[in-house]
Each structure stands twice: as structure tokens, then as C-alpha cells.
Amino acid sequence: MKDVNVGFIGLGNVGSKIARNILKGGFKLFVNDLDRNLSRNWLEVGAQWCFDLKNLASQSTIIITCLPSPVAVNNVLVKILPFLNTNHLWIEMSTTDESEMIRLSKLCLQKGIESLEAPITGGQHRAEKGNISILVAGKRKNFERAFPLLSEIGYEILYCGKLGNASTLKVVTNYLASINLLSLGEALMVCKKYGLDLTTAYHGIRISSGNSFVHETESKVILNGSYDVGFTMDLVCKDVGLFDKLSDKYNIPADISKLINKIFNEGRGKYGDRSFSTSIVKRLEEACNENLRAPGFPSQLKDEEPKKKAIEIKF
């Protein structure tokens, strides 16, 4: 079936960017969020506010949730499930617990409702432009049904197989990014203490074997001092906690995971839930009585590329 009407729940930092690209793609968008104020911009550009989930479900064939935690996902799905039918496809785009995703999909399947998980990865600046990467898992037929919609949201789209695979892979990638963020703070501080110009250090790392996506993006806003990566401390703590849960589940002696959880939770306690995840570097700056600043770096990240035609990654 061809889907035109999309219900969208969760208009936060990431969700708002996804929603805008859905509208740009010519879909009809029906939105709901706990904070109705978040919908005002969308109403001006063609979205329709739904006062309750029943109304949203009745006008949509694809339902997308993009929410901050597995608890929030569960709460929304339990409330909307009575209003869904066999014509609906539920797509969960948050970073969530794979076991919870599987459990909730089984609840849906009891009513003949199909599900996909499709977490995005690659930074909010790419999400805004529609060039984000998307990891998708679930039945192949559901992936193919959703592909026209996902193509408006992202660029590189990877089908990961059975439900749970994409959630797990997304948690793994966020864990690796979090490791890199901490190590970059330490690396830049060594350069600072040694007396290396930090602009030189940035470019030296960028052209070396030590380079990474995190360095090319998050190091910029650290060096600027804004720390504005658009991703907050409560979310990074959730993600590294999900990785730690997986490592415990499989009895993996993941020493680094335990340490990273400790560091980020200390940072969360010190700087607050809604501080940027990059603020974790402030711990090191304060301990060393130094700041990691260099001129010429942006206060916010921006994707300079035009929207690219989406592709499925095949191998």
C-alpha cells in the first residue's frame, strides 16, 4: 500500500528535524507531543495537530515515535495501541532497549500490526538536512513499505535484519562515540598542557589515524566553547547504560563500559540532565584549570551538503 498520512509523536530536538523532512517530502503529517507549544512551527508549514492519540491514529497509516526513553516509548504505545489496526505500521526511531522493542512489537503483532525499528545516527546537523544515516530492522516487507518515507528522512539506509538488530547496533555506535568523546578531551588537554596550538592539534588529529567522525564534529564545538552538539547528558547516560546492560547480559567483562558509565553519570550529576553531552569535557578542564579553546571554530554544527538521494547500503 502507498502511505501518504504519517502520524508523528515526539517533537524534541531530533524528532522536530525528522518531522520537517517528512513534510518536505510531500507527506501529510499529523503530530502530537506532551508539549503542544512544540507543534506551533509545524502547524505553520502544514502539519496538523492531534489533540489525542486516537485522532492521530485514525488519520495515519504509518505511526512514528521518536521519544527520549524506553519508558516513554512504552507509555505512548500502550495508549495508542487500542486505536491501531492492521493497516498501520509502527516505526520506532528512538535509541531504545532491544528487548523492550521486541516485547512491544509482539503486543502489536497480537493485533496484526506490523513494526519496524529505525534509529538514526550521524548527528543532528545531518538530521536537519535529511542526510542522516538510518539503521532499520524488522520484516523486509515492512522495510520496503517504509523506504519511501525513510528516504525523505535520511541518506544512507541500512537494513539490519530481524527486529532488535538495529536497536543493538545503534547502542553500540553511540557507545563508541561516547568513548571517543572522552578520549578526545584527554588528547586535546595533553596538547594544551604541552603548549601545542589547539587549531594545529585539531587538524593534526583530523589528518591522522586518530581521526573520527566525533573529532570532526564534536571537537569543533568544544574548541569553540559552546559545546552545542544538540545531544544532552541524560540521553548519553541512557545510551551507555543500555550498552552496559547488554554487556552484562552476555557476561562480557567490559571494563571500559563500567568506567564510561561512571564518568558520564558523574557529569550528569554535576552539570544537569539537559547539559550537552560534550560538557563532560568540562570535568577535565576544571580539574586541570585550563580551557580547550581555539579561534575560528563554529558554535553549532551545520551540514553543508545538499539533501542527497537516499540509498540502501548493500554488501
Rounded mean pLDDT, 48-59: 95
Domain residue limits, the chain: 5-162, 168-288
Whole-number pLDDT of residue 35: 79
Question: Are 110 and 81 contacting, i.e. CB atoms less than 8 angstroms apart?
Answer: no
Whole-number pLDDT of residue 46: 85
What is the percent of the chain with per-residue pLDDT over 70, rounded to a whole number?
98
CATH number listed for the domain at residues 5-162: 3.40.50.720
The pTM (predicted TM-score) of the whole model is: 0.96
Give 193-214 pLDDT, tens digit per residue: 999 999 999 999 999 999 999 9
Whole-number pLDDT of residue 162: 98
What is the percent of the chain with per-residue pLDDT over 90, rounded to a whole number?
92
Question: Are 124 and 98 contacting, i.e. CB atoms less than 8 angstroms apart?
Answer: no
Rounded mean pLDDT, 141-167: 98
Whole-number pLDDT of residue 45: 74
Rounded mean pLDDT, 185-194: 98
Q: Is 225 exposed, middle or buried (0-12, 13-18, 19+ CB in 10 A)?
A: middle
Whole-number pLDDT of residue 198: 98
- Lowest-confidence segment of 40-49, 130-139, 221-230, 257-266 by average pLDDT: 40-49
Reading phi first (left if > 0) and then psi (alpha if -120 to 50, else beta), residue 2 is in: beta
Rounded mean pLDDT, 147-158: 98
Say how many CA atoms lie within 13 Å of 260 toward its Cβ: 25
Judge if 5-162 and 168-288 fold alike in CATH terms. no
Give 243-275 pLDDT, tens digit per residue: 999 999 999 999 999 999 999 999 999 999 999
What are the backbone dihedrals phi and psi of residue 8, each rounded to the nearest 5 degrees, phi first?
A: -130, 125
Banded pLDDT at 191 (limits 50, 70, 90): very high
Q: What angle do CA 92, 230, 67 make, to 5 degrees?
A: 20
Give 3-48 pLDDT, tens digit per residue: 999 999 998 888 989 999 999 999 999 999 887 776 666 667 789 9
Architecture (CATH level 2) of domain 168-288 = Orthogonal Bundle (1.10)
Rounded mean pLDDT, 127-145: 97
Rounded mean pLDDT, 152-171: 98
As a whole number of angstroms, the distance between CA 154 and CA 81 comes to: 27
Question: Are 10 and 73 contacting, i.e. CB atoms less than 8 angstroms apart?
Answer: no
Give 284-306 pLDDT, tens digit per residue: 999 999 999 999 999 999 999 99
Question: Are 73 and 67 contacting, i.e. CB atoms less than 8 angstroms apart?
Answer: yes
Q: Which three cell numbers stand for residue 40?
A: 506551533
Whole-number pLDDT of residue 1: 60
Banded pLDDT at 2 (limits 50, 70, 90): confident
Question: Are 80 and 58 contacting, i.e. CB atoms less than 8 angstroms apart?
Answer: no
Whole-number pLDDT of residue 38: 66
Q: What is the DSSP string of the chain?
A: ----EEEEE--SHHHHHHHHHHHHTT-EEEEE-SSGGGGHHHHHTT-EE-SSHHHHHHT-SEEEE--SSHHHHHHHHHHHGGG--TT-EEEE-S---HHHHHHHHHHHHTTT-EEEE--EES-HHHHHHT-EEEEEEE-HHHHHHHHHHHHHHEEEEEE--STTHHHHHHHHHHHHHHHHHHHHHHHHHHHHHHT--HHHHHHHHHTSTT--HHHHHHHHHHHHT----S-BHHHHHHHHHHHHHHHHHTT---HHHHHHHHHHHHHHHHH-TTSBGGGGHHHHHHHHT-----TT--SS----SPPPPPEE---
Average pLDDT over the chain reads 95
Question: Are 118 and 132 contacting, i.e. CB atoms less than 8 angstroms apart?
Answer: no
